[in-house]
Each structure stands twice: as C-alpha cells, then as structure tokens.
Structure 1
Amino acid sequence: MQTIDYSAFISYSHAGDGRLAPALRHGLQAFAKPWHALRALRVFCDSASMRANAGLWTSLEAALASSAFFVLLASPDAAASRWVGREVEFWRANKRSENCLIVLTEGELQWDPVTGDFDWTRTTALPPQCKGMFGEEPLYVDLRWARTADDLSLRHPRFRSAVAEVAAALHGRPKDELIGEDVRLHRRARRLALTAVASLVALTLLSVGGAVVALDQRESARQQARVALSRQLAVQAAASATVNPRLSQLQSLAAWQSMHTVEARGQLLTAQRQNYDGTFVGHAGRVRTLDVSPDGRLLASGGDDSTVRLWDTASRTQVAKLEGHDSAVLAVAFSPDGSTLASGKLGRTGDEQTIKIWDVRTRTLRTGLSPGSVSTVAFSPDGLLAYALADKQVHLWDLQSGREVRRLAGHTGFISTIAFSPDGRRIATGSNTDGDNGVRLWDARSGRLLKAFSGHLAAVSDLAFSPDGALLASASRDASVRLWNVPALAFERQLLAGDDTLYTVAFSGNGKQVLAGGALEFVHVWDVDDGERNANHIGPTTGLWSVAVSRDGRSVYASDELGTITRWERGVSAFDAGARINGAAYSGDGSLLATASDDGTVRISDAGTLKPLHLLVHPRRAMASGVVFSPDGRRVASTWTDNTVRIWDARTGRALHSYEFGRCPLRATCQAQSLSFDSTGTRLLVTRGPLIDRNDLRSLSSEHDQVAVLDVEHGRWTVLWEPTDEAAGSGADTSAMLVVHSARGGAFAAGLSDGRVLLWDDESLEPLPGLPAPPGSGDELPTTGLAFSPDGRTLVAGHASGLVQWWDPASRTVEHRRQSGSSYPRGIHYSPDGRTIAIGGEDGLVRLWDADSRTVSATITAHGLMTNGLAISPDSRTLVTTSDDSTAHVYSLDARVAVERLCRSLRGPSLQQEWDALDAAVPEHPC
C-alpha cells in the first residue's frame, strides 16, 4: 500500500496562481496547529516542496501518489496548463475523485444538472481532463476576490474562513469545530508564550543591550570597511586601465562586489566600455600573424612555435592546432568563402612545403606548395592565392588548376605585404627593405604596374584597402600611415603615430577610421576625413606584433611576443548615417529612437532592435539640427537649417506641419537650432541662431536670433527673447544657443552665447529670474548644454570653458564644477531616475556625473570625434550618443549588464587565481 506522506497536493498554474498557492499551503499548515507541532498538516506545493532535480514529472508523480487529497486551484490559466492537466489525469486514474477539492481563483464554473457534469460551454476554469470526473456537483471555495498580499493572510477574515473550509475537509472535521479548536490552541499557545517571555525578559534585557550595541558597532565597522575597499579598488581599476585592462576589469568587478558605491558603479560602467574583450592563450612564443574569417567566427594565428591555430571567436577557445611547419609561421590568410586557410613560413629545408593549404571545416591539410621562403600570403576575391618569395616577386597561383597564372616583378627589396582591392581589380604590394620603401599598385588581371608610390622613410610593413576600394593605406616603421587615392593614383594624406614603429594597418568596417599597431603597444586610430588621431585608441598589449580586424570592423585582434592574442571590441554603432548626427531623442515609452542628421533626414528607429522604421526627408535637403518627441510619443518635431520647424507623425512618418521661424532678413544665415515640447505637447520652445561652424564658437553672434514659443496646432509664434530686447547700451552681441523645458518645474529655459540662462513660466510665458553668466569672458562663456532634473528643482548648465553649473532656481544658489581636460560640454542629459547626468564633450568622451555628489563617476570613450547629442532611455538603462563621425552609439547604464559584459571577457581558466590575488577581503567573483 502506498504510504501517505502529504495530506494534500496543490495543483495550480504558476502563471495565474504563483502567489496564491504558497499562501494557501502556509495557511493549511498553520491553521489549528498545536503549539508543539511543526505544522498542522503536511501539504505539497511544488514551489516550496521540491528540490532541483532532473526528473520533474517523476517527483510530481511520487508526491501525487503519496497525497490523501488533491486541491485544484481552478482558473483559465490552470485549464490551459499542460502540467495541471497531467496531474488531474493521474489523480483520476489512481485516486478517488471525491478527494479532489476545487478552489476557484479566476474564471467561471457552471454545473449542468441535466448532464450531471459541468457545462463545458460556460466553464472556463477547469482543464478538459475534469470532464465526467464528478458524480455530483462538487462544493468549491471561491477565492476570486483574493488579489493582494493582505488578502492572502490568515489575519484576513475571509481568507481565514476559506482556509478553514479546505482544512476541515482535510482533517475530516466540521468547519465550526475546527475553527473552535484553532482558537483554543491559539489561546493556549499565547499563554505559554507569555509565561516564557516573562521569565526570559529580565535576563534578556541584561544581555541584549550590550549585544545590540556590539553588533551594531561591528556591522557598522564592516560596512565602512567594505565601502573603503570598494572605493580603493575603483581607484586602482581606473589607474590600471591604461596599463593592464584585464586587471582593471577585475578590480572594477571586485569594487562592485565589495559594495555598490557610487565610485564602484562609475568604474563598472567605465570598464565595460574599455575596448578589452578577453584573450586567446595557447601559442608558445611570439604570435607573428593573424587573420579573421569572413564571417567573423574563426581567428587564425601563426607563430614562432611553428603552429597554425584556429580559434572560436565567440568562446575564445582553440578549436584546432595545425602542425606541419618546421619553423616560424609568418603569414596566414582565409579564402574569400572562409573554407580554406593558407599559411606560409620563412626558410626552406629540402622539399619541405613552405606554403600549406588547410581545409577549415575538417581541420586537415589539403595540399602544399614548395616555392621557397615565403614572407606573406593573401587571397584575391576570386580565390587566387598570392604569395611573395625571396625572389622579390609576387606569384599568383590558381589552386584549382594547380598552376601559376601570373607574376608581378619590379620590387628591388624583400616584399613584406600584399593586399587585394575589394573588387579584386587591384593588387598592392609593399617592401620592408631599406632602399625599396615603396608601395606599388598593379592591375590584377594583366599584372601591369599602375603606380609606384614613394614617400615613406623606412620599410613598409603592411597595406590595407578601404572597404570601397577608393583608398589604400600603407603602414611604415617611420611611424606614419600614408593614404593613397586609388582612382587618382595620387597621395592623399599622411597620418602620424608619434615615435611608434608601425607593423600593421587596417580600416574600420565603415571605412571612416584607420587603425595601426606598432611597438608602443597601442593600436592607433585616425579619422580618415581629417587625419586626426583620436582618443578612441585600442590597447595596451605587450610588444604588439600583428593586428587583424573583423570584416564588420567591430573586433580588433592584436598579438604579442608572449604568445597572447587580445581581442578589443570597438564601439558598436546603432547605425551610420553617412553624415554628422546632430541630436537624438527617445519617445516617452522608450520604444522609438529619433536622430537628426546633416544629410537632410530624421531617422526613426525601433529603440530595442535599432531597426530603421521611417526616414523623414526634408524636401530641400536642409540639415536637421535638432529632434524631439511630443510627450505622448505620437509626433516628432525637428529644426532645420532653412529656418523651419517641421512636425511628423512618429508612427507613420507622415509629414504634418511645416512652420517658418519668423522672418529672417538674411535667410541664408538663419536656422532653427533647438527645440523642446511643453508637458501638454501643444507648444514648442524653439531657438533661432546663425548658420555657423559648430566647431568655432567665435562665430555665434547674430542680430536675428530669437527664442520663441510655437503653438503647434495653430502655427502661431510668440517671441520670448531677442537681442533687441536687451538693456539699452549693453552692447551685447548675443545668440540664443539651446532650450529645454521642465515638465514638473513649470519653466522654459534658454541658454545664450554670453553665458546667461533665461527662464519663463511655461503657462503664462512671463519671465522668471534667470542664471547670470559664469565667471569668464569671450569664448569661455557660451552655454553649450542645458538640462533640468526630472523633478524640475535643479538646472544644469554647461559652458564652453568646461564649467558646469548646478543651479537651484527656487533658492537661487549656484554650485560650480569643471570638466576635466579642455573639453567643453556638448549636450547634457539627466537620466529620468535622477541619478545620472550625462555630459558629452568635444573630445568624443561622455562623462557620467553622479547627481547627488556632483562628481564624475564614469567616463565613456564614445566617439573619435566630437559628441553632438545625447539621449537616455525612459527607464534610465540605455544611453545613446551621436557624433560628427556620423554614427550613433548605444551604451548600457545598467550595472547588471556591465557585470555580465565583464564576465564574458574575463572568463577563463585563470580567472579564479587572478581574483584570489586581488584582496583577501573581496567577496567571491560573480562570474
């Protein structure tokens, strides 16, 4: 006979009754419980009774078989649940149906006396397995009213009565008798408890006082120690970032694990944007060459240990060790389809194959060539293999026919590098031998020399074509990269790397940056258009030797002399607009993201997937200078350089209105600059300013500037400020810079080029006391960023001097802070939760300020060029930045996401050992 271990088995839907079922179990076990017993009844409820195990149904079946009663929590969710149906089916087959008790939590139960069963056309709360289960209409307990935590307490009279009704059936006693027993036992337990308490109070009072004080002091000391350790580790992490990024990430995690301080959170967010993304360890000695497969899933490496290794880029694990070379491997290259890998070595012994062709899928040797000492190999887009030999020539080999099809002769020195243009029509070659420091460009089909470029002062170490094939980059040991115009066969620009000796060069995926690595252990990054070396460099490593960039430009792999390959993850762009992006905005519900660009468009994208939904195009292709959503998210408004404000339907992309911002006598010099909706969405605060070079703050003056409010329904303008309204004799030459609205503070604000901030009541439009200009003069003054806190009590203003002001309009108090370096703020955005203030900079960095302490807690390397716009999502978890480099970048402000990101890059066999070496007081790592 089956042993009865449980008085009842509760069957329920987790989706519908995940809170009610445990509450009912607790009530049944506590109701009428003798004071000396652990529980009145033993009730099975899977959320509380089961341990983790592989056999879920086996455990449920055993519990069902050993239960006396079956309590079914009936609801539409339970009716649709596969598990509830299976439990009912088991009970019917193995137990008595009259021992099934129904508790209705949602839906309907309707009995049909004619059929002697439930009316299944109207009953919605029972699973189909209950059909014909009951011989007569069962009584059931109705708990559809119980919805809150207070409802599900035995202190609630209705819930207590419902529990008593179910408990009476389980105990086999009348309900009123059981309630009386519960009252009697409760009173007895209370008397015993009071007696015991009275006996212990005197002794307890003597000891508790001292113990509590001691415990409080000890806990306070522990908290202070953890806070101090957290802050210390955050400081150490910041110091390690430019020397040892892996250690910096470990210390950042440890700081957060020790205590969630402001400093730890800031360093955690900073560390997740460090480019470091883990290492690949396996080679013994220097890794000389790298290549990434076309799909980015595999990395090939060759080194001084005479091996070629294949790595899975997602897991950073070695998937193959290809052996056969007898000396250092100098070159590896994937075929265009990624199915074949070629490797080459320097030197030759007898008939040893200096070039080996590997099958990537099977990880086996397919064939080999024995041409002699090989310095470099490369595949053409149509699958030809090119290699350079000691004979100072490039050989083109058809692998299918097994014969040489062409030779390129003309270099007088050792050929160090070969590159094919993306269309396969051009071949570039470079020499690393003194006396032949040139780059040669060839016609791939005929082998004819098109141009011999000269200008490097030392050996050419690497070549790369831009994605469109229009530019050729050559890196040299003379610390320079030279860009060559391929169609014009002419020199374009020189990029300088200080005193570095450059070994490798590559283009980013969008072709807008050039990357080069060298002996100084950093990968330098330049902007192609202006040749500026930007702060978004990659590194450091130890003795950097080779660099490979994934085809999408997101991952950079750098090898070193110690046999380690480091991956650096470059900032991921939401999209590349192809032109400067001047601003970004989230819709109120966070579902849409809008950006405004110099190419005459406003883009509306899905904020989650970043998939473009609508492209709003100006009919005359004027530049879009600003963008904002209405509070309800149904409309998007934008300002344009033709002095207009345009409003669109955000969901359909349909143009709704176009309004000219007043009359401009010199219309070609006027533009609507910035704008903000009021809380009702019926009015827009807009500034008009001059068409200027946004990189030159000295050109800000214009006599036609205005700040005005636009009635968007009727197209009426109300001018709030213009230079002619200034006090007579001031002589001020002042421009309106930007505007912002505080929904809760009830004010409009506008920043001016002379450093002042003006305020107006957002209902009456009457002027309010404003913020005077900060200390300084001339170019230091212009207001370049403005934001209200979510509660409207604080206004943050940034100025061209790098000064940031915190202003309380109510008390008229001002607090000053200054951004580090010489960077002036380029946009300010308060997070909706009020914790963080994001301030962009002309240096391409975004600094995250802690709103309470008013200090910089994190610095994000956002763009290589100036940051123009910022937006923080309504849930305060995501930051979007836009820039002169035409890209929009997305960053997480969620500490949990940052922890996951760092864990992904740090995971490996050495993690625990590295973590243990940090500090004995650091808690266990979260990875």
Structure 2
Amino acid sequence: MRGRTVLIGGLMLALGALCACAVLGGGFLAYRFLPPLLAATPTPTASAIRTPTARPPVSSTSTPRPTATAAPPSPSPPTPSPLPGPTMLLRIAIPVEGVVAMAPAPDGRLALFARNGQSGFLDVRTGELREGPTAPEAVEELVFSPDGRAFALRTASEIRLWDIPGARTRFTLALEEQVRRIAFSPQGTLLLVGGADTLSGYFVETGRRAFAFDLYDAADQFVMTPDERLIFQMTERASDLEVWDARTGEWWGSLEFEPLTAIALSPDGRLLVAAENEMRPMEEGYEAPFPARIALWAITIRPEQQEVERRLAQELDLVPELEYGKFPLPLKALAFTPDGRRIIGLADWVGEGDMSGRLYVWDAASGRMIGRAVLPPRPWKMALMEEGRSVAVLIGGGFFATEVRIYELPER
C-alpha cells in the first residue's frame, strides 16, 4: 500500500512538472511570435480617394505603356508612431504600366518612358496623361538639359542625345561598360556618364569626350559644382566621397564619411547634404544598415592646394523608423529645391517585412523636418516639379513602376 501511494505521488509530481514546462514554453512562444501576428491589420484612413481596380499582370509578350486614363490612387499605408514634420499632401496618384524612367519636361509636364520605349506626358496639375513618341528600344534613364533644348536617353546598349528644336539626334554613344547614371552638367555644356569603372564627360554640341576618370569604385551617384570645375562621386555603401577636377583631369582625394547612400549639392555649390549609414550586426551574423545621420556640410574649395574643406553646418532631423522585425529606412535619394531652401529625401525599407517607403522635407537653414509622407511599397525614384513646389515619386515593384504620385511640398 505504501508503495502504491509513493507511485501515485510520483506520477502527480511528474504531471505537474510537464504542465509547468508547457506553460513556460507557451509563454516564450507567445512573447516571440505573437506580437507581429496579433498586430492590427492596417486600415486606410477615410478619404475621398477610392482604390482603383486592380490591373491584370503584364505578361512578357504584352506591350507595357503609360496608361492614358487617370484613375484614383491606392491609399497610403497608415502612419506609424508620430515623428517630426506634418503629413505631406498627396495631390494625385496615377496608375501606369511598365514605367522605368521619368524626368520633368521643359513644358512643366512629367515625361515618362515605359520599358518598351513608349513615352507619356503627365500633367501634374490635372492628372491628364497623353501618349508620346516611342524610342527605338527600352529606355533605362531620361534626363533633360537645364535649358530644355535637349534630352538624353540611356538604353542597355547606347546613350542618345536628342536636339528638341532641330528634331534630330546630335550624337550617339555606344556603351562599353555598365552605366549607372547620366546627367547634364549645371550649365548644360556637358553630358556626364557615370559607369562601373569610368566617369566621363562629353560636350553636348559635338559629342566629343572632354574627360574620363578611371574610378576606384562605381559611380552610383555624383554631383558637379555650379562652375563645372569639380565632381563629387559616390559609390553606394562606400565611405569615401571622391573629388575629381573636370578641367585638369586630376583626382583631388577623398572626403571620409560613414558609408554613404545619397548626396546632393545646393544650387550655389556651398552646401553638400549627405546621408550616412553604418552597418550593425544583427542575429546570426547578418549586418544591416542603420542611419547614422543626414547632415549639411559647408564646402570650401581651394584650387591652388587642390583641396576641399568641409565643415559641419547642420544635422537634419531624423528619427529611425524602427518597427518590430524590420530594419531602419536608408535614404536612397536627396535633392535641394531650386531656391536652396528645402531638402527632399526619399527612403526605402530594406530586408523583409513592410516595404513602405518615406518622403521627407527639411528646412535647410534649421535642419528641421517640415514634411513627411508614408509611401506605398517600393518607391523607386523622385523628381522635383514646378520649381520645387511639388515632387513626383515612382512607385512599383519588380523591374518597373506601377504608379506615379505627386506630393505638394510644404513651405517653411
């Protein structure tokens, strides 16, 4: 009898221990996995803008083109925790098909090119989108000259500079390496071509090469001083900002930063804004970029010494928008408004999870954030419109954009 009592007691103790383990294990799992699962499903705020009917997927044999019908935009994702800066006003959102390039046109419209070369012109005030001519092949980049008398198209095989008044091709450049970006110089005398190994400049009237620099790393972004003397060249995720002299063809050295993701130069060339990141270790040895800062630097150029001095002028407001299981937002593009008073920044999520982007506006004098918008997933590019009163953003996924959004820029 005593043995039976001991046996029953032992069984009861074992059962109690198993229950305790189950409770503790369940608590750990709930702590680890339930917060994202129980998070409230985002609900669009009430708005007069209705969600458009979903478009069928574009097949590999179909002909993508900007749609000529203005349809209501998809609603913006809900804003997370409050941050500096009022919400920016969304003026209009236009669904498009297969758009890969955009640029402000001289007449005030937004020029769009689809991946098959079909062009469209968007009136940013009314939302009217009209089809334009078709390029010989798929366009990857489009830029207009400062005076609006020419534009350059980049395809996978060539760069073509088109004279608008003469309705003719001025010159064509065959690509000998992968090109990351093209741009006109501030005075419009040169077409700048940044590649994986070379940064070159070509006279826009003749196509003759003015200079070519053998790079230490790819020209992912670059800016030129207003006098067209110096070029600041950035490689994404690299720490050094290279300085090149376009007149002498000499390298002046590097400006050291944390790894860079975006740069821009003020219209007068006196201020450089730079977005810096740092790589921090995450779980299982993975490293992710965390915004270090976005700062304005006063630039002093000393040609005799071939030196560029920089002085920290202002740090811009930036609160890393971290959420559960996500990474911070890296800045992928920066720009000054033509008057130099405001700075625009486009940010994108990295890693898995919510892919919503952000659009920021800062006051250049104080560094204060004066506007902010939550964007739909995967913003691609931005372009300032209407002399800095609005900004266009390409939204999409995969290899082409599916929507163009126009936001009003706030005043100071």
The TM-score with structure 2 as length reference comes to 0.48
More helix, by proportion: 1
Structure number with bigger Rg = 1
Larger relative contact order (Cα-Cα within 8 Å, sequence gap ≥ 6): 2
More strand, by proportion: 2
